Amino acid sequence: MPTTNFDVSGIKQSIVGKLQRYYGVTVKTATPQQRYKAAASTVRDQIMQKWMVSREQRAHAQGKRLYYLSVEFLMGRSLNSNLINLCSQDAYQEAFRELDIDPNALMIEEPEPALGNGGLGRLAACFLDSLSSLDIPSMGCTIRYEYGLFRQKIVDGQQVELPDMWLANGNVWEILVAEDICQVHFGGEIREAVVDGRRVFTLENAYTIDAVPYDMPIVGYDTDCVNTLRTWSAHSREGFDLKTFGRGEYDKAMDEMKMAEVINKVLYPEDSHWEGKMLRMKQQYFFVSATLQYALKDFKRQYGGDFDLLPEKVVFHINDTHPGLAIPELIRLLIDQEGLDWEPAQRITHRCVAYTNHTVLQEALERWPQDMMRQTLPRIYMILEELNRRSCEKLFTFYPDQWDRIGQMAILAYGQVHMANLCVALAFSVNGVSQLHGKILTEGLFHDYYMTDPAKFSAITNGITHRRWLLSANPGLTKLLRETIGDGFYRDAQALEKLLPFAEDAAFRQQFDAVKRINKQRLSQLTQRRQGITLDPDFIFDVQAKRLHEYKRQLLNALHIQVLYNRIVEDSGYDAPPRLFLFGAKAAPGYYRAKLIIRYINALAKLIDSHPRASKFLKVVYLENYDVSTAELLMPAADISQQLSTAGKEASGTGNMKFMMNGALTLGTMDGANVEIYEQVGAENIYIFGMRAETVEGMYREGTYNPMAIFETNGEIRRALSQWLDGTLFPDEPMALQDLYHMLLMGDMGGMADAYFVLKDFGSYSMANRRMMEDYQNREIWQKKAIVNVAKSGFFSSDRTIREYNEMIWKIR
Ligand code: 26V
């Protein structure tokens, strides 16, 4: 077999050859998209050789394999991160140079697979990178959504959603794996029979859908390990079920086709508010069932039918409760397909499944209507009933006669299937994503379960892949670091600590500053191209980038900007360094209040722009369509990272880590992983404000919080809120922000006023801002703090996170 040599001349030959063979063009006449395809498929060829070897090695080694199940993987573009992990960046750069190809123009031709909403999906993507880099055999499993998260436009200050057709030009990185196509069944009725003295269950009159897997390679950094991201696509059987059609059941034949077509059509864009949508449940079961069928097939191929061996060879990690039906589905497969009895099936399943919780927000916890589950997945529902019966029986011995408590802990209760309870009761491991979040799980949300089995709970702080978020996203800083402390941090992010002494080195600080400036200009090119806005690198770049949600408190930031504006307007002697506030956030399309906050921010931007003096000190820019690629340009340009969630609400946050690693200082609450950033850098290198989580909890319990009292006593807040209703912000529609006003001061529909304590924390936030601006004006002090942040960010590499998961949970090799 001819093997290609991927040195500079081999790369050039391959690119030129592909352009000629695929498109009949030369490098000069090719479109940027054609050049991208030719380059990317060259990289793919290079990966293929490793991928094959990796698969053979895994089969040979007979080790344990991790299946990471997640409804979201927010991968971002692959080309550059693959080049980095293959250690081929230099060779390709040189090949591009010699072919006169602009690498940047080529990279942006890659459509970004936006198969995720936010933190949870991006974490899954970072994990895959670390798993391969640490040589841990693993497969990410998810749904091949035809449409990823919507693209966002801002029109007249408002969010408009557009479809994300990321597959329109094909996907260079995936291959269809025909031999692993399998079937998933929905609906129908259960028939029970006794065969050889054993009760057997069969499903009749079900809808059957083909699950078609597409595999994407996940390359590890400087290693031979290439793992797989498998995305499942739904197809109707043989296109159109002719048998059904032939029987004259046209409607049914059509229904099946429609259902198959729709199942992987679109990613749901809500990431904080759960709704019992039948289609979403079908999506989840679809990819879970297909994944488990494949995993058992692969297991049997290697080890035959000894399923007691399964927990030694396989671990299924479920990313939040969304893939939680893996639990009853594995039991179903072991019993109905493999012929095991209930007890061994449940015992084996328990030992194979681990669960991570990612949110404690009540409204985000999944609870399916029991009727819906019974109709759509009758056999799964039967198994849930049995699991519930056994689980409640066990709980009853631990909490005798405490029926209320057991009702709260039950898998089935009050007409609903409670997914978190299912996962906590049945998984062998339950973990939180930061120290604080872990504590809230064991002391709050899952406390009653914690008391029954404390050993299975853990907290493992999230991480980010420093290869994408530093090496790839910030080439300027990476180069400077390599020249200063060597390239040890490429492999081991903790080596960034070597940077610490250079905080005292004035020459280094100056270079560090120069890199930041260039990164600001890079970002400005993006906003210029996309929105026609130029950013002034002399401004402080102060960024809040994350999904738009009340608990994340973009409103606190905006309200404070408005107060600053008023100070400037009123005080002709006002002086402060000029500050650019950048917002990047998508709102769930049905989240009215979040969309209103977007309007508010854009109205503020306009108000400030139209004031000659205020616009010398302040600028607000709403970055359109915040996604992974935007983040990669945004993080390296930031001076300030705003992490304002109400304490106790943000499970971890991972954007906070990306900013830190790129030298931004955090302005934040003691929430999620901000707490650990604080511990890493020390109090003098971070700006902490606001109530602590316990205080917040206490205020909810007591119910005595009265934001109106703050409104009455704080003139700056009163002035700003009054401007919401007097036409200052929306001259043509003075009542536009009425809902926000009401929410803050009166509460809505019986809910408490200002439930996220925006007004309560405002004073402390404002003070922290003041401290920060004073420090910023002393360049030396500020630069030192920024450098300490980079130096201490190694802890937040997802390599550390994955090592901890493996030591504490998966125990692979
Ligand atoms: C929740 C839901 C609720 C039901 C509707 C659909 C849907 C889709 C996604 C989610 C995920 C919400 C949980 C989430 O994204 N949590 C975030 O996880 C990050 C990674 O652990 C963490 O850093 C963030 O703090 C946390 O909000």
pLDDT digits 0-9 by tens, 704-735: 999 999 999 999 999 999 999 999 999 999 99
Q: How confident is the model at residue 71 (pLDDT cuts 50, 70, 90)?
A: very high
Q: Supply the residue whose CA is at minimum distance from atom 11 of ligand 1.
A: 271
How far is 66 from 43, CA to CA, in rounded Å?
26
How are strands ordered across the β-sheet holding 618-623? Answer: 618-623, 579-584, 540-545, 640-643, 665-668, 687-688
Strands 687-688 and 457-459, sheet pairing: unpaired
- Do 268 and 586 contact (CB within 8 A), yes or no? no
Q: Choose one of 358, 465, 669, 801 to mutate for the ligand 1 pocket test, by most ligand atoms within 8 angstroms of C-beta.
A: 358
* Matching residue, tokens 């759960």: 274
Task: State pLDDT tens for residues 444-481.
Answer: 999 999 999 999 999 999 999 999 999 999 999 999 99
Burial class (CB in 10 A: 0-12, 13-18, 19+), 363: exposed
> Ligand 1, atom 2: nearest CA belongs to which residue?
271
Distance 186 CA to ligand 1 centre (A): 27
Distance between Cα 20 and ligand 1 center (Å) = 45
Q: How far apart are CA 571 and CA 589, in angstroms?
A: 40
CA count, 13 A, side-chain hemisphere, 577: 22
Predicted pLDDT of residue 4:
67
Interval between CA 660 and ligand 1 midpoint (Å) = 21
State the DSSP string of 157-189. TEEEEE---TTTT--TT-EE-GGG-EEEEES-E
DSSP 8-state class, residue 646: P
Q: How far is the CA of 577 from the centre of ligand 1 (A)?
A: 36
Nearest CA to ligand 1 atom 5: 274
Probe residue for ligand 1, chosen from 74, 267, 272 as the CB with the greatest number of ligand atoms within 8 Å: 272
Its pTM stands at: 0.97
The whole-number average pLDDT for the span 212-222 is: 98
Query: What are 176's strand-pairing partners?
Result: 214
Closest CA to 230 of 212, 214, 209, 210: 214
Pick from 577, 808, 798, 809: nearest CA to 123: 798
Cα(620)–Cα(602) distance, integer angstroms: 8
Mutate to test the pocket of ligand 1, among 72, 115, 359, 548 (most ligand atoms within 8 A of CB): 359
Do 85 and 467 meet the contact criterion of CB atoms below 8 Å apart? yes
Residues having CB within 6 Å of any atom of ligand 1: 117-120, 123, 268, 270-271, 274, 320, 358-359, 364, 366, 433, 462, 650-654, 672
Q: Which atom of ligand 1 is nearest to the CA of 650?
A: 25
The residue whose CA has the least distance to atom 12 of ligand 1 is 271
**Do β-strands 416-418 and 429-432 pair in parallel, antiparallel, or remain unpaired?**
unpaired
Q: Could you identify the atom of ligand 1 that is nearest to the CA of residue 121?
A: 15
Structure confidence at residue 1 as a pLDDT band (50, 70, 90): very low
Sign of CA dihedral 626, 632, 634, 639: positive
Mean pLDDT over 548-561 rounds to 98
Residue 797 Cα, ligand 1 centroid: separation in angstroms?
Answer: 20
Residue nearest to atom 1 of ligand 1 (CA): 271
- What is the per-residue pLDDT for 2? 47
Closest CA to 620 of 567, 684, 564, 660: 564
Yes or no: say if 503 and 787 are a contact pair by the CB < 8 Å rule: yes
675 and 630 Cβ atoms separated by less than 8 Å: no
Residue nearest atom 23 of ligand 1, based on CA coordinates: 653
Please give the angle made by the CA atoms of 683, 687 and 690, to the nearest 5 degrees: 105
Distance 361 CA to ligand 1 centre (A): 9
CB atoms within 10 A of CB 444: 13
Buried-state track 787-809, b at ≥16 Cβ within 10 A, e below 16 = bbbbbbbbbbbbbbbbbbbbeeb
Choose which residue among 70, 271, 416, 434 to substitute to test ligand 1 binding: the one with the highest number of ligand atoms within 8 A of its C-beta: 271
Q: Which helix (H) or strand (E) holds 256?
A: helix 250-263
Average pLDDT of span 241-248: 69
CB atoms within 10 A of CB 703: 8
Residue 525 half-sphere exposure, CB side, CA atoms within 13 Å?
Answer: 8
Alpha carbon separation from 458 to 266, 465, 501 (Å, rounded):
33, 22, 35
Average pLDDT over residues 584-612: 98
How far does residue 289's CA lie from ligand 1's centre (Å)? 22
- Pair type for strands 353-356 and 429-432: parallel
pLDDT of 240: 60
Interval 146-201: pLDDT, tens: 999 999 999 999 999 999 999 999 999 999 999 999 999 999 999 999 999 899 99
Which pLDDT score, from 0 to 100, does residue 274 have? 82
Active site residues: 358, 546-547, 552, 654, 658
Contact 681, 496 (CB under 8 A): no
Distance CA 338, CA 58 (A): 24
Q: Which atom of ligand 1 is nearest to the CA of 654?
A: 23
Q: How far is the CA of 181 from the centre of ligand 1 (A)?
A: 30
Q: Quick one: pLDDT at residue 293?
A: 98
3-state secondary structure of 147: strand
Rg (the chain; Cα; Å): 27
Atom index in ligand 1 nearest the CA of residue 122 equals 20
Is the confidence at residue 242, as pLDDT, over 70?
no
In terms of phi and psi (left: phi > 0; alpha: psi -120 to 50; beta: otherwise), the region of 205 is: left
- How many C-beta atoms surround the C-beta of residue 390 within 10 A? 16
Nearest atom, ligand 1, residue 117 CA: 9
Q: 358 C-alpha to center of ligand 1: Å?
A: 5
Tell me: the pLDDT tens digits for 416-432?
999 999 999 999 999 99
pLDDT bin (cut points 50, 70, 90) of residue 3 is low
When the pLDDT of each residue in the chain is averaged and rounded to a whole number, the result is: 96
Give long-range contacts, CB 8 A cutoff, 24+ apart: 500-508: 500/787, 500/788, 500/791, 502/787, 503/783, 503/784, 503/787, 503/788, 503/791, 504/784, 506/780, 508/484, 508/787
Chain segment 59-68, per-residue pLDDT in tens: 899 999 999 9
Contact, 382 vs 328, CB < 8 A? Answer: no
Share of the chain above pLDDT 90, in %: 94
Residue 239: the pLDDT is: 60
Give me the pLDDT at residue 249, please.
75
Q: How far is the CA of 662 from the centre of ligand 1 (A)?
A: 24
Q: How far is the CA of 223 from the centre of ligand 1 (A)?
A: 31
Query: 332 with 383: CB under 8 angstroms?
Result: yes
**Distance in angstroms between the alpha carbons of the first and the last residue of the chain:** 33
Q: What is the pLDDT of residue 273?
A: 81
Q: How far, in Å, is the centroid of ligand 1 from the Cα of 117?
A: 8
Nearest CA among 114, 117, 446 for reference residue 272: 117
Residue 51 CB-half CA count within 13 A:
19
**Contact 442/457 with Cβ under 8 angstroms?**
yes
Residue nearest to atom 20 of ligand 1 (CA): 120
Q: What's the pLDDT score for residue 714?
A: 98
Cα–Cα distances (Å) from 110 to 21, 40, 76, 85, 723, in that order, read 20, 9, 9, 18, 44
Please give the average per-residue pLDDT across 501-510, as a whole number.
98
Cα torsion through 332, 334, 335, 339, rounded to 10: 150
Question: Can you say how many angstroms the Cα of residue 412 is from the centroid of all Cα atoms in its chain?
Answer: 29
The residue nearest atom 8 of ligand 1, judged by CA position, is 271
Question: Which atom of ligand 1 lies closest to the CA of 433?
Answer: 21
The C-alpha atoms of residue 93 and residue 95 are separated, in whole angstroms, by 5
Q: Which pLDDT score is estimated for 225?
A: 95
Q: How large is the average pLDDT for residues 398-417?
A: 97
| Cα 340 to Cα 627: distance, rounded to the nearest angstrom | 46
Q: What is the pLDDT of residues 316-348, one digit of tens each?
A: 999 999 999 999 999 999 999 999 999 999 999
- pLDDT tens per residue across span 745-804: 999 877 899 999 999 999 999 999 999 999 999 999 999 999 999 999 999 999 999 999
State pLDDT tens for residues 563-576: 999 999 999 999 99
The fraction of the chain above a pLDDT of 70, given in percent, is 98
